[in-house]
Each structure stands twice: as C-alpha cells, then as structure tokens.
Amino acid sequence: MKVITTIQELKTLLSSINKTGEKKTGFVPTMGALHEGHLTLLKEAKKESDIVICSIYVNPTQFNNSSDFDNYPITLEEDKKGLISVGCDVLFLPETKEIFPDKPLINFSFGKLESVLEGKFRPDHFNGVALVVSKLFNIVSPDFAYFGQKDYQQFAIIQQLVKDLSFQIQLRCVNTVREESGLAMSSRNMRLTAKQLESSPFIYNMLLKANEDLKNGEKPSLVKGGISQLFDIHPDFELEYFEISHPSTLQPVETIENGAIISVAAFMGEIRLIDNILI
Ligand code: AMP
C-alpha cells in the first residue's frame, strides 16, 4: 500500500497507475481510528474497483465541539495494518495545510435536509463535511465512493452535493456494522468506559423497540414520547433526539407510508453516539 501525503503526489501516482483511465477507482473517506465498519466499506470498494483509495483526515471544519476534535482517537499504525489486510492500494494522509491552506470562504447550505437531526444539533457540521468531501472528490476523482448508513443524514447530504455539483461519482451506502451487542461500531466507542460499554446496547434496543411499536400500529409521536421517557430514566444516557423521519426528505413523519428512518443521538458522559435503522 502506498502512503501519500500531498495532492500533487497523489495525482501523479493515480495517473501513472491508471494511464488509460480504464481502471475503476473506489474511494473511502475516513477520519481514521478504523474499525470493522470502515474496513467493510473498503471490502465493498475492493469488489468493484481496480484501485482502492482510503483517506484518513480528521477534518477540523466538521467539529462543532473542540474537545471532541482534540480527543478524536488516532491509531495510525493499526489503521495501516487494517487497510493492508483488506487490500487497500493507496492511503491518502494529508495534513491540514494541504487540505485547508487558507480558511475557505465558500459556504454550503442544504436547506431542510440539514435543519433536522444532526444538522439541528451540530450547527455548521454539514458545511464542514461538504467542504472536505468536495475537496477530496476533486483530488481523488473516483468512480465510486463509499459511505456508511450509520451516518445516514451525511449520506443524504452527499447525494445532494453530488447531484448539485454534477460530480461524476457513483455513491454507495453500506449497512451499519455492529458489535455483537448491537452497538454500532464507531471510532468514539474506544473512549467509552467498561461500564458505559455494558449499557451502550440500549441505543440499538430502543431503535428495535420503536420499530416494533410502529409495526404494532402505534403513532410515531407516541413511539417517540415513550422511548424518550425510557432514555430519561436511564442513568447512563442523555438523549439529544429520537426521531422518526421520511427516508428521503428526513422530515419528521406522523404516519408511516413508504418506510421511515428512525434515528437517535445520545450522550454517554462526554461521548456522543448516533445510530439509526431504516424501516
Ligand atoms: P468516520 O471515520 O467516522 O468519518 O467514518 C468514515 C466512513 O465510515 C463514513 O462513511 C461512516 O458512515 C462509515 N462508518 C462509520 N462507522 C460505521 C459502521 N459501524 N458501519 C458502517 N459504516 C461506518
């Protein structure tokens, strides 16, 4: 696996290994501290691409909480081993001066798509995501790009970005990979204490319970109310939102017609966890 830190070197390498442009390239952008969820994205990329590129860059512009940014886990040597084990060809590992030599002036706005869920609670988060993803798409210019369902709203925003800016890239959304307990894998999980880890499956169990309640004909507003109360009485969680939304517009729904996305964000101490299921 080649490890590349500059845009110029990356462009030179990609044009030398893909001279005729016939090879398909698959791209997986990440912030590192890789786990099986990330590696599953890379395995999917490997299935349909001749050249697989992963980027690791902890993007400061998408953090609205400086302590979350400062404490974001970095496990580079382990990450490289994982990437090699799944046959990644190129690791792009830029520094901030390469990606953001100056403070960008451009501002993305995604209207109603970002006024809910994560966008509502993390102001400017999706502006930072769209900025870095646009830059990486321009730098890597892949045929395919892979994202996780765990960040469902992020995927919706990137779909919109690709459409609005005519990126010639096919997007893939990969199912959430979970621990046996049901906890969605996340780089932030490694900051949970043993006690927090023990109670963490509660999040996924609440998503499953909401799904059951909806199947039994309960109204979304009642389901949300009931689950919020269960979070309120749980000593280890502080709920930020529990929402039942339209799977494309992401707006809250009062009835389930063509499926829905059930999403949750909750704090365990300082660690903010998110999860969702599509129904
Ligand atoms: P991150 O490093 O957190 O920015 O994540 C990089 C990519 O991996 C994003 O597209 C995430 O949605 C995806 N991802 C993170 N956790 C998981 C998971 N448990 N299952 C599947 N994809 C994931």
What ligand 1 atom has the least distance to the C-alpha of 176?
Answer: 20
Active site residue 125: no
Name the pTM for this structure: 0.97
Handedness of CA 117, 260, 271, 33 (dihedral sign): negative
| Candidate from 35, 38, 55 with most ligand 1 atoms within 8 A of CB, to mutate | 38
- 135-178 pLDDT tens trace: 999 999 999 999 999 999 999 999 999 999 999 999 999 999 99
The pLDDT value given to residue 31: 98
- 33-75 pLDDT tens trace: 999 999 999 999 999 999 999 999 999 999 989 999 999 999 9
CB 53 within 8 Å of CB 89: yes
Q: What region, left, alpha or beta, does residue 171 occupy, with left being phi > 0 and alpha being psi -120 to 50 degrees?
A: beta
CB 92 within 8 Å of CB 85: no
State the residue for tokens 């400062």: 70
The pLDDT value given to residue 211: 98
- 235-253 pLDDT tens trace: 999 999 999 999 999 999 9
The pLDDT value given to residue 127: 98
Please provide residue 248's backbone torsions phi and psi, each rounded to the nearest 5 degrees.
-105, -45
Strands annotated E in the chain = 2-4, 25-30, 51-56, 90-92, 144-148, 170-174, 238-245, 261-268, 271-278
